[in-house]
Amino acid sequence: MIAGVALLGFLAWSWWQSRLPGRYDVMSYGAVDQGGAQPIAHHHFGVDSLTGPKGKPDYRVTLTAEKAPVRLSSGQEVDAWTFDGSAPGPELRVRKGELVQVTLVNKDIDDGVTIHWHGLDVPNAEDGVAGVTQNAVEPGGRYVYRFRPEQVGTFWYHTHQDASEGVKEGLFGALVVEAKSQRPGLDLALPVHTFAGHTAIGTHDDVARRAVRPGTPVRLRLINTDSASARFQLSGMRPAVVAIDGAEIPPARIPAGEPIEIGGGGRYDVAFVMPNGVASVEIENSKAALVLSPDGTGEPSEAPSGPVFDPATRGQPTPLLHGAHFDRTFDLTISKKPGFLDGRPGRHWALNGKLYPRVPMFEVAKGDLVRINLDNDSSSVHPMHLHGHHFDVLTRDGKAVSPWSTDTLLMLPHERYSVAFRANNPGLWMLHCHNLGHAADGLTMHLMYAGVTTPFRAGKSANNDPE
Ligand code: C2O
Ligand code: CU
């Protein structure tokens, strides 16, 4: 009896404790983890001071968020939240080093909208996270983003206000940064998204066909905008993976029959020379496919799929940064834990045993070489995304890998990874799972530079939802 009352009391207390105020500072919750280094003496600076460059933009565009029906190629119509009336939104192609200026206008998305430049390491105030780096833009409002991309590759943009809802509804688009001199050939950005149960490449939820002259160099930029992983089966050509998450790798031939698996938020660029026949890309478990052929006809091959292409074993494993001195080393374990998340009972995602927002916040100083040991202590897949930085993958399950640089690391159940990055972009940055449903259920935390503060507030009455 007394034990029962004590348990009830404990549950009531836990429930009460878990409730988030209507307006709160994301920095006032999680305990700060210093990663094994001494506390840092610092001056204070606000994220709103970390803006992009001034001056006359080389590239400027306005994106208007609005509700609109979107028609898929099968004829299916879906009610979407769009940029400029289309989902995916307009493809943005900019050049390395250009000053880019994007004005976001919100016409009628009541929940508010922002734009996050997924994978581009922009200055913090341009990062587009509601309640962390800006306020969500409400209907009738606008926000101007300015940055100078120095990375060449495949990225995407999407809302970061209640992203699990907004991205699903269609608030995203492809973003390509081209080198100063562009390669010849066919270059296609292919954002994949599931609209109300219909998986589509762009808006093609069935077979898209295109005539391509044999011998043409082709580059396909595969972008997974869904929360679940997507598998791409490539047939009829000799493809190689040439970039992962906007960073080039030495071309890695994809063995025949091996599908590519891309986690939520991830991108792979594949390149090949157009054969004298049908080359196709199919998305497994869907009707969506792209068929390239000399005369623009043909069918996807429906080849059975073999084992999945593994980015970690593209060649000789290379022990990267072996013996390096890390200024800070953090451990991050992902697991499930029963408890209350903002008053909701259930088994939620926990980071180092803590539920959001009381999760650890990693503190670094500018210039630090930082290592994170990630441990997926769960039976789910987690594409872990760090804002504002790319990390180098050092080991998987304790063994050296063929290194690559990534912003969205796909972690399979019970995998452990060690990654490292140079802390060279001051601010307050999110580190979260890009299965956006997981992020909304607590799989989210922050990386903070010593001394950073934010004037923005998360919470329902602040109308800012960083997830
Ligand atoms: Cu693509 Cu924090 O997101
Ligand atoms: Cu996850």
pLDDT tens digits along 118-139: 999 999 999 999 999 999 999 9
pLDDT reported for residue 153? 98
**268 strand-pairing partners:** 222, 244
Q: Supply the residue whose CA is at minimum distance from atom 1 of ligand 1.
A: 118
Please state the rounded mean pLDDT for residues 435-458: 95
Q: Report how far residue 242's alpha carbon sits from residue 247's, in angstroms, rounded to the nearest whole number.
A: 9
Q: Report how far residue 287's alpha carbon sits from residue 273's, in angstroms, rounded to the nearest whole number.
A: 25
Centre of ligand 2 to C-alpha 273, Å, is: 36
Token readout for 321 is: 């940064």
pLDDT reported for residue 4? 77
pLDDT reported for residue 427? 97
Q: How confident is the model at residue 321 (pLDDT cuts 50, 70, 90)?
A: confident
The ligand whose atoms approach the alpha carbon of 129 most closely is 1
229-270 pLDDT, tens digit per residue, is 999 999 999 999 999 999 999 999 999 889 999 999 999 999
Centre of ligand 1 to C-alpha 246, Å, is: 14
Find the length of the chain. Answer: 467
pLDDT at 1 over 70: no
pLDDT at 60 over 90: yes
pLDDT at 350 over 90: yes
Please state the rounded mean pLDDT for residues 415-434: 97
155-182 pLDDT, tens digit per residue, is 999 999 999 999 999 999 999 999 988 7
6-33 pLDDT, tens digit per residue, is 777 777 777 767 777 788 888 887 778 9
363-405 pLDDT, tens digit per residue, is 999 999 999 999 999 999 999 999 999 999 999 999 999 999 9
Q: Is 118 in the pocket of ligand 1 (CB under 6 A)?
A: yes
pLDDT: which is higher, 322 or 35: 35
Q: Is 385 in the pocket of ligand 1 (CB under 6 A)?
A: yes
- Looking from the CA of residue 265, the nearest atom of ligand 1 is 1
Q: Report how far residue 453's alpha carbon sits from residue 325's, in angstroms, rounded to the nearest whole number.
A: 28
| Maximum Cα interatomic distance, the chain, rounded to a whole number of Å | 80
Whole-number percent of the chain with pLDDT over 70: 99
pLDDT reported for residue 432? 97
Q: Is 387 in the pocket of ligand 1 (CB under 6 A)?
A: yes
**Beta carbons within 8 Å of 226's beta carbon, 6+ residues apart:** 192, 193, 194, 199, 264
Please state the rounded mean pLDDT for residues 109-113: 97
- Looking from the CA of residue 119, the nearest atom of ligand 1 is 1
What distance lies between CA 279 and its chain's CA centroid? 28
Centre of ligand 2 to C-alpha 399, Å, is: 23
Task: Label residue 173 left, alpha or beta by phi (over 0 means left) and psi (-120 to 50 means alpha).
Answer: beta
**Cα-flanking dihedrals φ and ψ of residue 45, to 5°?**
-145, 145
pLDDT, averaged across the chain: 94
- Looking from the CA of residue 439, the nearest atom of ligand 1 is 2
State the sign of the Cα–Cα–Cα–Cα dihedral 129, 135, 141, 142.
Answer: negative
Which H or E run contains 6? helix 2-18
Centre of ligand 2 to C-alpha 383, Å, is: 6
Q: Is 267 in the pocket of ligand 1 (CB under 6 A)?
A: no
Please state the rounded mean pLDDT for residues 343-370: 90
Cα–Cα nearest to 315, from 250, 268, 393: 250
Q: Report how far residue 324's alpha carbon sits from residue 392's, in angstroms, rounded to the nearest whole number.
A: 13
**Beta carbons within 8 Å of 409's beta carbon, 6+ residues apart:** 263, 374, 383, 384, 385, 391, 393, 417, 419
Q: Report how far residue 58's alpha carbon sits from residue 463's, in angstroms, rounded to the nearest whole number.
A: 33
Q: How confident is the model at residue 418 (pLDDT cuts 50, 70, 90)?
A: very high
Centre of ligand 2 to C-alpha 416, Å, is: 14
Centre of ligand 2 to C-alpha 209, Å, is: 34
Q: Supply the residue whose CA is at minimum distance from atom 3 of ligand 1.
A: 118
- Looking from the CA of residue 430, the nearest atom of ligand 1 is 2
What distance lies between CA 147 and its chain's CA centroid? 18
